[in-house]
């Protein structure tokens, strides 16, 4: 990589990143978006290094911009390296989010999460864009089944970046609050090599489960063609029991990824990616305290009297062509993300409440909701590298998304599974298509050696069409047949303006005003007709403006880094869940409310006071609330706090590595502690399904030994075995007993890894 200096990392620096709640950019050598960090290469020197050595600078390479030093990037971002995640035993990103200040999660289990950055959370589409390299894998919550955000397994991952604040000018719709990017390791055109990791994990009160993953890189034609193959398997022990089995929520996941890079000429590169991931659970990760008749249940036990497995399968395809010249780089990329999942819930209690059927008997039934979603995306962009004070990033984007959803209600067979030949109580389907076209541009002006201005914008045009069919009405009678097609259309423009100033070589300040948006959509009027309720056919887009000021500093010859930002967010036409009623029954639908606002700030600190020791800390504050009553006052009033948004998150970490003096072995020990303050599931306590979510503290420890490319680590996650409830779920509020989702119980892992 000509003209770009690469930073190297010792094992202690990599491991420290886990202890850093912020996964601090500088000390961990990570990226600032929308820029990519240079790939960290493990240092060959013994642990500890020179006493009191400073942390070296970080240089990043561009994906949608040019190369630069991370200290010069005027934006807030946290990132976690793949090596760091693997070495501390992380299975997926959801285990690490509490270490990223300002990031929260509404968690309904594997494959069903909603990420929240800076307090921006509501009904409707995701407020966070999620990418695997250039592939859009952002989750959706259209219709009433599960399947919001897929959990990408962290195998052979170079890093995970969390870009905070609106990223809409470059990443488009649903990046209104930020963007999460999984960056994979790329094929090396010159060197054979690979890695392997084997782990055993024991969950408190459960069993021991295996995990294995690895990767192999091999040049087919040196300097011209290389292939990288990676695979993953885990059987992560569950801890929830039901009438059919113990540890029913055991999570079994397998995945593989193949990537190829061909240097067609010195300037022209073609690369491709194929990835497949499959996840299965016999039951979801919730428990009840009472059964359907009000009787108390044992701890971590489900009330379900039917079998309700979760099955999902995803395919990711990408092809990218890149042409580099002295004046800039042209990139064209085409991607497909296809996800199929089947989500089901015990419907026996609903059959009793709605149809008067006995819970045990003819009412014993399952509501099954299979989904298929295919997202095709195409982008062509140009990033300049002119010998001038002005640089340009510009591109065209097109996305074509198809979704098919079925909701059908049937009785069960003798083993408790849904009986495809059983009695029908409901059968409806919904199909929709979303088409998005966009053009964006961003100009960077280097006014002086110290002053820089960035200005950019994006124009978008979005169309959504939906068709539905009610084949069997609720209760088993004839359905109403095809419903009237619905259509939603939206277009507009958003912008970004950023000014940064280098007060000294080690102190940089910036201010930014950036807009974000989220497209509107259609409501499932066929489902409402089943309940004899009339709802609007669609809802409009919502948008926000983020005002931000930040400071990046380093002291004592780069041994201490302190970065911070404060921000205010104005959010208009907020998408929210409304309720329509026919006087007897209520039916939820998505509509637009009024206004909300967020005031907040973040602080990250990293210190390297002595050889082998690193200390980190972070703090985040978010005051997210409605600033006016919703149009339907019962759904939210001025001053109500945004759901699932903790006011405060904080954490601290430490890591120490030293030479053991025995056969060139290095020792390591460290840990982190994080705090999450209270929040709630809905805007206020008058809304059915409202539950307060208490504050909690998580403690993680790690220790190990390493020698060259080999390491043996012991990791304890959730040392105190904290069972705080972090989310609730139900089939029908007020009918079913509450279902609780908690932090995973204490997990002890032994991880052996090797590079070759």
How do residues 351-371 score in pLDDT, each as one tens digit?
998 888 999 999 999 999 999
Q: Which two tokens stand for residue 504?
A: 């000294």
User: Rounded CA gap, 413 and 421, in Å?
Assistant: 9
Give me the pLDDT at residue 576, please. 83
Compute the mean pLDDT over every residue in the chain, rounded to the nearest whole number: 85
Q: Secondary structure of the chain: what % helix, strand, coil (to 5)? A: 5, 55, 35
Q: Which long-range contacts (CB under 8 A, 24 or more apart) does 56-59 make?
A: 56/7, 56/8, 56/558, 57/5, 57/7, 57/26, 57/558, 58/7, 58/25, 58/26, 58/29, 58/30, 59/4, 59/5, 59/6, 59/7
Average pLDDT over residues 576-602: 81
Which range has the worst mean pLDDT, 238-252, 532-546, 740-754? 532-546
Mean pLDDT of 8-34: 30
pTM for the model stands at 0.87
Confidence class for position 409, pLDDT limits 50, 70, 90 = very high
639-671: pLDDT as tens digits: 999 999 999 999 999 999 999 999 899 999 999
d(C-alpha 649, C-alpha 16), whole Å: 19
Q: Are 74 and 35 in contact (CB under 8 A)?
A: no
pLDDT of 61 strictly over 80: no
Q: 563: which 2 tokens?
A: 């970065």
Three-state secondary structure call for residue 188? coil
- Which tens digits make up the pLDDT trace of 523-553? 777 667 666 778 887 888 889 999 999 999 9
User: What gap in Å lies between CA 148 and CA 503, rounded to an integer?
Assistant: 43
Sequence-separated (6 or more) residues with CB below 8 Å from residue 92: 110, 151, 152, 153, 154
DSSP 335: E
Question: How high is the pLDDT of residue 592?
Answer: 86
Q: What is the mean pLDDT of residues 464-471?
A: 87
pLDDT above 50: residue 608? yes
Does pLDDT of 59 surpass 60?
Answer: no
Band of residue 103 on the pLDDT scale cut at 50, 70, 90: confident
- Separation of first and last alpha carbons in the chain: 23
Q: For residues 301 and 286, what is the distance between their CA atoms, to the nearest angstrom? A: 8
Q: Please answer whether residues 377 and 356 qualify as being in contact, where contact means their C-beta atoms are separated by less than 8 angstroms.
A: no
Picking from 48, 93, 23, 71, the residue whose alpha carbon sits closest to that of residue 616 is 23
Q: Would you place residue 76 in the very low, low, confident or very high pLDDT band (cuts 50, 70, 90)?
A: confident
Residue 198 tokens, joined: 């084997």
* pLDDT score at 584: 63
Determine the Cα–Cα distance for residues 235 and 200; give it in Å rounded to an integer. 10
Range in 165-174, 342-351, 371-380, 457-466 with the lowest mean pLDDT: 165-174
> Vertex 61, ends 60 and 63: CA angle to 5°?
130
Which pLDDT does position 530 carry in this prediction?
Answer: 62
What whole-number distance in Å separates Cα of residue 446 and Cα of residue 7? 25
Cβ atoms of residues 458 and 437 within 8 Å = no
Tokens representing 246 are 């113990």
> How confident is the model at residue 697, as a pLDDT?
96
Q: What angle do CA 299, 305, 310 make, to 5 degrees?
A: 85
Residue 233 has φ and ψ, to the nearest 5°, of -150, 135
Residue 647 phi/psi, 5-degree rounding, is: -65, -35
Q: Pull the structure tokens for residue 447.
A: 């006014």
Percent above pLDDT 70 for the chain = 87
Which pLDDT belongs to residue 65? 59
Per the DSSP assignment, residues forming a β-bridge with 511 are 499, 549
Element housing 223 (H / E): none
The two three-digit tokens of residue 706, written as one number: 């390493």
């Amino acid at each position: 990589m000509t003209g770009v200096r690469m930073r190297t990392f010792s094992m202690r620096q990599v491991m420290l990143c886990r202890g850093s709640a912020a996964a601090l950019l500088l000390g961990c050598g990570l990226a600032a978006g929308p820029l990519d960090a240079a790939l960290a290469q493990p240092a060959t020197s013994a642990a500890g290094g020179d006493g009191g050595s400073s942390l070296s600078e970080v240089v990043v390479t561009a994906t949608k911009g040019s190369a630069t030093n991370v200290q010069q990037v005027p934006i807030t971002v946290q990132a976690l390296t793949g090596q760091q995640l693997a070495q501390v035993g992380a299975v997926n990103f959801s285990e690490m989010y509490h270490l990223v200040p300002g990031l929260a999660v509404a968690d309904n289990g594997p494959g069903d999460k909603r990420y929240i950055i800076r307090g921006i959370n509501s009904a409707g589409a995701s407020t966070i864009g999620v990418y695997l390299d250039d592939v859009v894998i952002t989750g959706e919550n259209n219709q009433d089944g599960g399947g919001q955000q897929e959990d990408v397994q962290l195998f052979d991952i170079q890093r995970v970046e969390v870009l905070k604040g609106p990223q809409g000018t470059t990443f488009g719709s649903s990046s209104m609050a930020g963007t999460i990017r999984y960056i994979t390791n790329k094929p090396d055109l010159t060197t054979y090599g690979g890695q392997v990791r084997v782990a055993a994990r024991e969950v408190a009160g459960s069993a021991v489960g295996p995990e294995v993953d690895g990767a192999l890189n091999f040049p087919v034609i040196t300097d011209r063609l290389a292939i990288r193959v990676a695979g993953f398997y885990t059987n992560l022990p569950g801890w929830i029991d039901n009438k059919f089995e113990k540890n029913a929520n055991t999570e079994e996941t397998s995945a593989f990824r193949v990537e190829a890079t061909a240097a067609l000429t010195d300037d022209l590169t073609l690369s491709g990616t194929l990835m497949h991931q499959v996840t299965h659970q016999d039951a979801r990760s919730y428990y009840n305290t009472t059964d359907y008749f009000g009787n108390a249940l044992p701890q971590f036990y489900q009330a379900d009297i039917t079998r309700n497995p979760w099955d999902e399968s995803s395919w990711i395809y990408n092809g990218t062509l890149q042409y580099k010249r002295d004046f800039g780089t042209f990139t064209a990329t085409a991607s497909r993300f296809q996800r199929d999942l089947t989500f089901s819930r015990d419907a026996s209690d609903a059959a009793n409440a709605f149809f008067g059927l006995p819970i045990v008997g003819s009412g014993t039934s399952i509501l099954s909701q299979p989904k298929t979603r295919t997202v095709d995306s195409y982008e062509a962009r140009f990033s300049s590298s002119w010998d001038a004070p002005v640089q340009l990033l510009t591109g065209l984007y097109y996305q074509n998304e198809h979704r098919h959803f079925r909701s059908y209600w049937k009785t069960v067979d003798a083993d408790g599974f849904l009986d495809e030949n059983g009695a029908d109580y409901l059968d409806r389907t919904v199909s929709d298509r979303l088409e998005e076209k966009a053009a964006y541009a961003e100009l960077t002006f280097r006014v002086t050696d110290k002053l820089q201005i960035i200005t950019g914008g994006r124009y978008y045009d979005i169309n959504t069409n939906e068709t539905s069919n009610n084949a069997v009405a609720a209760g088993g009678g004839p359905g109403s047949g095809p419903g009237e097609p619905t259509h939603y259309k939206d277009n507009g423009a958003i912008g970004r303006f950023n000014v940064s100033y280098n007060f000294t070589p080690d102190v940089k300040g910036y201010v930014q005003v950036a807009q974000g948006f989220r497209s509107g959509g259609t409501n499932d009027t066929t489902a409402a007709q089943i309940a004899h309720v009339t709802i609007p056919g669609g809802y409009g887009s919502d948008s926000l403006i983020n005002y931000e000021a930040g400071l990046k500093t380093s002291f004592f010859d780069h041994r201490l880094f302190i970065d911070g930002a404060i921000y205010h967010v104005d959010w208009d036409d907020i998408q929210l869940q409304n309720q329509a009623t026919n006087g007897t029954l209520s039916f939820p639908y998505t509509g637009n409310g009024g206004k909300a606002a967020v005031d907040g700030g973040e602080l990250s600190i990293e210190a390297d006071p002595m050889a082998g020791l690193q200390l980190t800390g972070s703090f985040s504050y978010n005051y997210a609330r409605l600033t006016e009553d919703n149009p339907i006052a019962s759904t939210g009033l001025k001053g109500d706090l945004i759901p699932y948004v903790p006011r405060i998150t904080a954490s601290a970490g430490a890591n120490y590595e030293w030479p053991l003096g025995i056969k060139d072995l290095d020792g390591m020990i460290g840990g982190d502690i994080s705090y999450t303050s209270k929040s709630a599931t809905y805007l206020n306590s008058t809304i059915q399904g409202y539950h307060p979510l208490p504050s909690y503290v998580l403690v993680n420890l790690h220790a190990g030994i390493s020698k060259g490319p080999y390491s043996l680590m012991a990791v304890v996650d959730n040392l105190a075995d904290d069972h705080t409830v972090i989310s609730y779920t139900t089939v029908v509020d007020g009918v079913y007993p509450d279902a609780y989702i908690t932090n995973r119980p204490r997990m002890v892992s032994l991880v052996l890894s090797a590079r070759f």
